[in-house]
């Protein structure tokens, strides 16, 4: 598996969460030069030489980023992914393995303090960092950063770098739309953060799917009680034997599409397969204002995004939002102000047969339309995946498109089953009559007559 070097999204002064990002919403093409090995022939280049890695290590030692070589906890080493951090002795869980002072981070402060600092004023952090990297790369050995830059590969298997022919293999996928949007705008929403940074040595840490701990394995802290200097501290989340590689888990919540875009790899795990349903309250809806107010009162907006993973239930807010969007006709009385504080509770249950039928029809039509855009079937994709000679990028493409289709079929199955239950579901009017004691044990409506 080709695993990328990390681009860290730091939170000052300390943080319990790590955003290891490069795209959806994630950082930028230029910063992707700080990524790990690539296995596709079109983008492949020779790994850095041992001499280059040795120069990088000396550079770190001279600048106080690591202890003397004989006492080092980890050292850069050649691993299946390219370069990685190799334990120099047995490491217990939560052992600190890397501490990098802020003066060795490459962030927007670094760019502003450089000779091109005046050109970086007012620029987004990722833009200023990109400009700084381009200039330092152009300086070659004259750059004080060249030992670090010399070990960076130029590209990754991220879909940002795929050719048109390679991108055709993800035709119909949401990943293609996200990738093309990023390529055309040359900007990524995750790149809007104020605290992007490259952290030499720490960014050699590779990903492993066997790491399941969700606790953060890094923090930013002061170097000492009386020091204002910040350091980036990295711990190993599991026990590691001497000579073995130290790993972390980049992000347990990411889908395969996120992993492919951000890092250029996928995992063969069903819960990594996901599809994002986008729902919207139309501005042409006669009840637009009321519906938007209700949505916002419940933490949603005019447009809502629901990530659905393979083998997992629908997000809890999806059905209420669907019912809200479809609400109309004789059900519109629920939008009146008298129901404003209770309507979401009503939307969590079927409102009416017409409303429930409408959401089933709309969702199933959306699934059918999305599935028709793929140029292969799930069965064809699974047959391809059985082969051992797939190009890495084709393997990523097949995994992504097969996963999306499986999730779409799962969603369609769920709403097809719901359609079959429309006649037996209990709707708002029935529930209300029961609350008023106007429905008998057999479900018949009781009419009271005065004597």
Question: Are 200 and 232 a contacting pair, CB within 8 Å?
Answer: no
Q: Residue 7, annotated ligand binder?
A: no
Q: Residue 81, annotated ligand binder?
A: yes
Catalytic residue among 148, 250, 275, 321: 250
Rounded Cα distance, 40 and 276, in Å: 28
Q: Closest Cα to residue 193, out of 142, 128, 137?
A: 128
Rounded Cα distance, 22 and 34, in Å: 10
User: For residue 204, how many other CB atoms are within 10 A of its CB?
Assistant: 28
Q: Residue 441, annotated ligand binder?
A: no
Question: Are 373 and 344 a contacting pair, CB within 8 Å?
Answer: no
Q: Residue 82, annotated ligand binder?
A: yes
Q: Residue 206, annotated ligand binder?
A: yes
Q: Residue 432, annotated ligand binder?
A: no
Q: Residue 381, annotated ligand binder?
A: no
Q: Residue 395, annotated ligand binder?
A: no
Q: Residue 192, annotated ligand binder?
A: no
Q: Tell me whether residue 239 is one of the annotated catalytic residues.
A: no
Q: Residue 349, annotated ligand binder?
A: no
Q: Residue 250, annotated ligand binder?
A: yes
Annotated binding site for S-adenosyl-L-methionine: 81-83, 186, 206-207
Annotated binding site: 81-83, 186, 190, 203, 206-207, 218, 250, 263
Annotated binding site for substrate: 186, 190, 203, 218, 250, 263
Give me the active site residues, please: 250
């Amino acid at each position: 598996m080709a695993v990328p070097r990390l681009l860290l999204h730091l939170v000052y002064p300390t943080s319990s969460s790590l955003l290891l990002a490069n795209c959806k919403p994630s950082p930028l093409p230029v910063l992707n030069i700080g990524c790990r090995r690539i296995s596709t022939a079109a983008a492949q280049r020779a790994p850095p030489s041992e001499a280059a890695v040795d120069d990088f290590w000396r550079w770190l030692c001279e600048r106080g980023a690591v202890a003397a070589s004989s006492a080092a906890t980890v050292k850069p080493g050649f691993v299946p992914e390219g370069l990685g951090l190799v334990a120099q002795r047995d490491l217990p869980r939560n052992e600190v393995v890397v501490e990098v002072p802020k003066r060795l981070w490459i962030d927007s402060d670094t760019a502003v303090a450089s000779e091109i600092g005046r050109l970086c004023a007012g620029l987004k952090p990722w833009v200023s960092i990109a400009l700084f990297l381009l200039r330092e790369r152009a300086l070659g050995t004259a750059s004080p950063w060249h030992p670090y830059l010399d070990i960076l590969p130029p590209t990754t298997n991220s879909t940002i770098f795929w050719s048109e022919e390679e991108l055709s293999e993800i035709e119909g996928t949401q990943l293609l739309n996200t990738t093309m949007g990023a390529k055309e705008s040359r900007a990524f929403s995750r790149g809007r953060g104020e605290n992007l940074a490259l952290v030499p040595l720490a960014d050699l840490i590779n990903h492993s799917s066997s790491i399941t701990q969700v606790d953060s394995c890094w923090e930013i802290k002061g170097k000492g009680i009386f020091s204002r200097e910040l350091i980036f501290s990295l711990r190993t989340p599991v026990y590691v034997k001497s000579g073995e590689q130290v790993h972390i888990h980049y992000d347990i919540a990411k889908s395969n599409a996120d992993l492919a875009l951000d890092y250029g790899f996928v995992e063969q795990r069903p819960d990594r397969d996901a599809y994002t349903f986008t729902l919207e309250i139309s501005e042409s809806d006669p009840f637009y204002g009321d519906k938007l107010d209700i949505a916002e009162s419940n933490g949603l907006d005019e447009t809502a995004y629901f990530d659905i993973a393979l083998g997992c239930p629908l997000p809890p807010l999806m059905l209420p939002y669907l019912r809200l969007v479809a609400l109309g006709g004789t059900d519109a009385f629920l939008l009146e102000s008298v129901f404003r504080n209770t309507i979401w509770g009503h939307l969590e249950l079927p409102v009416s047969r017409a409303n429930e039928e409408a959401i089933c029809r709309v969702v199933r039509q959306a699934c059918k339309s999305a599935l028709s855009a793929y140029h292969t079937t799930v069965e064809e994709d699974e047959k391809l995946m059985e082969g051992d000679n797939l190009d890495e990028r084709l393997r990523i493409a097949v995994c992504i498109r097969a996963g999306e289709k499986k999730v779409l079929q799962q969603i369609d199955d769920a709403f097809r089953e719901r359609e079959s239950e429309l006649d037996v579901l209990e709707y708002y009017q029935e529930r209300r009559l029961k609350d008023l004691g106007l429905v008998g044990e057999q479900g018949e409506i009781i009419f009271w007559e005065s004597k």
